[in-house]
Amino acid sequence: MNQFRKGTRLALAMTICGLLLSCAEPADNAAKSSEEKSENQKPKIALIMKSLANDFFSTMAKGAESHQQEHGDEYELVVNGIKDERDLSRQVALVEEMVASGVDAIVIAPADSKALVPALRRAREAGVVVINIDNKLDQEILEAEKIEIPFVGPDNKLGAKKVGDYLAKKLKAGDEVIVLEGIRTSFNGTQRRLGFEEAMKAADIKIADSQSAQWEMSMANTLALSMLSEHPKVKAILAANDSMALGALAAVKNNGKAGDVLIVGFDNIAAVQQAIKDGQILATADQHGDQLAVYGIEYALNLLKDPHAKLEDRETPVDLVTAEVLK
C-alpha cells in the first residue's frame, strides 16, 4: 500500500475514532497496523525533537541517522525538529503530520510535558507506537487521558545533583549562587532545578535567585547579566542546560567577572566541552544525547514486533563531566 493511501486511511481512522468517542485499545490498533505492515514494507519511525538550533538535538539527530544507516534493512527514519524551543503548536502539528503521513512509530522529545499529551493520545488511537524520550510527559495528564506511553531517558534530578555537588566542593558554606532554569512546564527542567537545590542545600549554599531562561542562550545571557548586577556577591551560576551555560559565560565575561563566577551546565555539547577544557566552565552532565533517540528507536522497534509487550520506563545514564574527565 502506498504511503499516501495509508496516510489517508489513518487520518480517516482518527476522525472516526473522534466521532465515535471510543476506540479499540491502542495496543490492538498497533497490533493491526504492524500486521498490515509486515505484508510488504519496513516500518517507518518518526523522530520528533525540539530546537535544532540546540547542539544537543543536532547530536541526537546524527546518532539516530547513523543507527538507521547501520540498520537500513530494519526500518526507515524521518527526522523532525522545531525552530524555537517554545513553539509547542509546531510540535503538535508535527505529530499530526507524521500520523497523517502514515508512520508506524513516533519517538518524541516533547517541548512541554503536558501540552503534547492529547496529540500523542490521538496518535496512539490511530495505531501509532509512541515512545517518549528525554523530557518525561506528565504522569497525571497521561492518566487523565487514559494512556500509557513509555519513557526512555535519564534521571535529571540525579544528573543535576551530581553537577551541583561537584560545584559545591569549590564553594564554601554561606556563598551565594543563582540558577537559570529551563522551561518550567518541562518535567526535566523542574527535576534539574530540584537536583541543583538539593545539592546547594546539602552544602549550605544560598540560592540568591532562580529564574527561567527558557533553555535559550540569548535569554540566559540577558537574565544572567541582570541577576549578576542585582546580586554582586554571586559566586556561581547553575544552568539547567549548556545553551544557557554559554549565555551565562558571555554575561560573566561582559560583567568583568570572568574567572570569579563559576558556571555549570547540563548536556555536554561540544562548545561546553571546549569551555571546560579551557577552564571557563566548571562542569556539565552528559546525558548521551547521541544515544537517547537510538534507545527510543530500539524500544519502538521492539513494540512494533510485539505490540503486547509490557510498557516500562527505561532509565538511561547521566554522567558528570569535568576537566579531569575530559583529559
Shortest gap between Cβ of 23 and ligand ALL (angstroms)? 30
Give the three cell numbers for residue 182: 529551563
| Range in contact with ligand ALL (rule: CB under 6 A) among 6-14, 51-59, 139-147, 202-210 | 51-59
Site string (1-40) toward ligand ALL, x via CB under 6 A: ----------------------------------------
Q: Which of 29, 51, 113, 185 binds ligand ALL (CB under 6 A)?
A: 51
Q: Which of 33, 68, 135, 185 binds ligand ALL (CB under 6 A)?
A: 135
Shortest gap between Cβ of 192 and ligand ALL (angstroms)? 8
Shortest gap between Cβ of 30 and ligand ALL (angstroms)? 26
The Cα 249–Cα 246 span in angstroms is 5
Chain centroid to CA 94: 16
Shortest gap between Cβ of 245 and ligand ALL (angstroms)? 10
59 in contact with ligand ALL (CB under 6 A): no
SS3 44: strand
Q: Which of 6, 50, 157, 235 binds ligand ALL (CB under 6 A)?
A: 50
**252 contacts 225 by C-beta, under 8 angstroms:** no
Shortest gap between Cβ of 51 and ligand ALL (angstroms)? 5
**237 contacts 210 by C-beta, under 8 angstroms:** no
196 in contact with ligand ALL (CB under 6 A): no
132 in contact with ligand ALL (CB under 6 A): no
Q: Which of 75, 196, 266, 295 binds ligand ALL (CB under 6 A)?
A: 266
Count Cβ atoms within 10 A of the Cβ of residue 241 and give its class: 0-12 exposed, 13-18 middle, 19 or more buried. Answer: buried
Planar angle of CA 264, 270, 275, nearest 5 degrees: 45
Q: Which of 98, 109, 160, 303 binds ligand ALL (CB under 6 A)?
A: 109
First-residue to last-residue Cα distance in the chain: 54
| Range in contact with ligand ALL (rule: CB under 6 A) among 11-19, 48-56, 301-309, 319-327 | 48-56
Count of other CB atoms within 10 angstroms of residue 21: 6
188 in contact with ligand ALL (CB under 6 A): yes
Give the three cell numbers for residue 256: 568583568
Q: How many residues does the chain have?
A: 327
Q: How many residues bind ligand ALL (CB under 6 A)?
A: 14
- The dihedral over CA atoms of 249, 252, 253, 255, expressed in degrees to the nearest 10, equals 160
From the list 265, 260, 119, the residue with the least C-alpha distance to 192 is 265
Q: List the interface residues with ligand ALL, window 267-296 (CB under 6 A).
A: 267
The Cα 223–Cα 250 span in angstroms is 11
Type of residue found at 251? A
54 in contact with ligand ALL (CB under 6 A): yes
The Cα 207–Cα 227 span in angstroms is 12
Backbone angles phi, psi at 309, to 5 degrees: -60, 150
Shortest gap between Cβ of 28 and ligand ALL (angstroms)? 32
| Smaller CB separation from ligand ALL, 272 or 282 | 272
Summarize as ranges the residues that interact with ligand ALL (CB under 6 A): 50-51, 54, 56, 85, 109, 134-135, 188, 215, 241, 243, 266-267
